[in-house]
Amino acid sequence: MDWSPLKHLVETHRNWILLSHAKPDGDAIGSLLGLAAAIRSTGAMATPILEGGLPSRYRFMDPNGWLVLRDNVSQDLWTNADALAVVDTGTWNQLGHWAEKVRAFPRFKMVIDHHFTQDAIASVNFITTDPEANCRLIYEAGRSLGFVPDALAAQALYIGLATDTGWFRHGNTKPESFGLAFELVNLGANPTLIYREIYERSSLGKLRLSGRLLSRVSPHLNGQVVGSEILFGDWADIGAIPEDAEDLIDLVRVLEGTRVGFVLVERNPGETRGSLRGRDGFDVAALAQTFGGGGHKAAAGFSFHGSAQEAKGLLLERLRERLAPNT
């Protein structure tokens, strides 16, 4: 990536708005905070704005309150800004609430992103799908500005790197992922503290919901598929809330020998959310599409009008076709 234009852009624009995708993850928030720190280090102003709220697990990332929540954004902020950067996304639909504002923004716009799908949002684009995390691009952008991350910025960038690689275990992890982690931990990111903040603060509802789910785990189709479900009655029974159901699929998909894992969650009676995970090349995105959903080859999801039981019947039927002739 040629970052040489960036220095001039930051020198000539002194009041930035930074935006990322809705439902921000660690890489989005890390990119926002990291780029804000880099731009501010030059003496310019940069205000990172969220599309909605800040998920509780990431609140520790912003002790100085740099992030502005959607409801706290004033019209002045938009009027006074002379530049806008979109990070960790490059599509209008991901910008959610802010899409129209960005479209109408009459001054300088740029995108820094590592995703494949791109709309023509900005006049200057730093886009490449090589990096395992967008925070790598932000790190490079910062360096091109002469920015050396302090401990808080290093933490933000580390979190993007670590969460987008599933803590250095997903297929996008490469030698350089550890190389960048080495630098960021040297600069003050604390992996132990970060892991605990993000992954080790479960609610009682989440633990018990996990218990309910795991108690119902079943193999299907000669052990090629594993699945489980949360029924509508479980929520009140356990005292769990929808947020407690995040990432439940990770508990289920690890059954030895399986190629496909699924979790079906009844949010309401007759309203089921399906999460799918595939291994060894099995394409769950294509399967999710038959339910009107989508995602990546290895991780996808869908919504279904009907009970978990009905969704499971259909899902296993379609899996049987796709997994044949091995079944």
Q: Which helix (H) or strand (E) holds 111?
A: strand 108-113
Q: By CB under 8 A, tell whether 322 contacts a second copy.
A: no
**Which span (26-34, 67-75, 108-116, 214-222) binds a second copy, by CB under 8 A?**
214-222
Q: Are 291 and 302 in contact, with CB atoms under 8 Å apart?
A: yes
**Contact flag: residue 241 with a second copy (CB under 8 A):** no
Please name the residue that has the structure tokens 């205000």: 47
Rounded Cα–Cα distance for residues 152 and 216 (Å)? 42
Q: What are the backbone angles phi and psi of residue 229, rounded to the nearest 5°? A: -150, 155
Site string for a second copy, 246-275 (x = CB under 8 A): -----xxxxxx-------------------
Interaction between residue 281 and a second copy (CB under 8 A): no
Please answer whether residues 132 and 165 qualify as being in contact, where contact means their C-beta atoms are separated by less than 8 angstroms: yes
Nearer to a second copy, 117 or 214 (CB): 214
Quickly count: other Cβ atoms within 10 Å of residue 123's Cβ.
9
Other Cβ atoms within 10 Å of 4 Cβ, number = 8
In the bound state with a second copy, the residue whose beta carbon lies nearer, of 202 and 309, is: 202
- Binding to a second copy, residues 139-178 (CB under 8 A): 167-171, 173-176, 178
User: Of 216, 320, 319, 318, which is closest to residue 265 (Cα–Cα)?
Assistant: 216
By CB under 8 A, residue 299 contacts a second copy? no
Q: Please give the structure tokens belonging to residue 11.
A: 């020198």
The first and second tokens of residue 121, run together, are: 């949002």
Minimal CA–CA distance to 113: which of 103, 104, 122, 101? 122
Considering CB under 8 A, how many residues would be counted as binding a second copy? 41
Nearer to a second copy, 51 or 197 (CB): 197
Find the binding residues for a second copy in span 172-211 (CB under 8 A).
173-176, 178-179, 181-182, 185-186, 191-192, 195, 199-204, 207-208, 210-211
Measured between alpha carbons, how far is 251 from 131 in angstroms, rounded to an integer?
A: 27
Exactly one of 212, 267, 320, 322 binds a second copy (CB under 8 A); which one?
A: 212
Cβ 247 to a second copy shortest distance, Å = 12
Q: Least distance from C-beta 143 to a second copy, angstroms?
A: 18
Instruction: List residues near a second copy by CB under 8 A.
Output: 167-171, 173-176, 178-179, 181-182, 185-186, 191-192, 195, 199-204, 207-208, 210-217, 219, 251-256
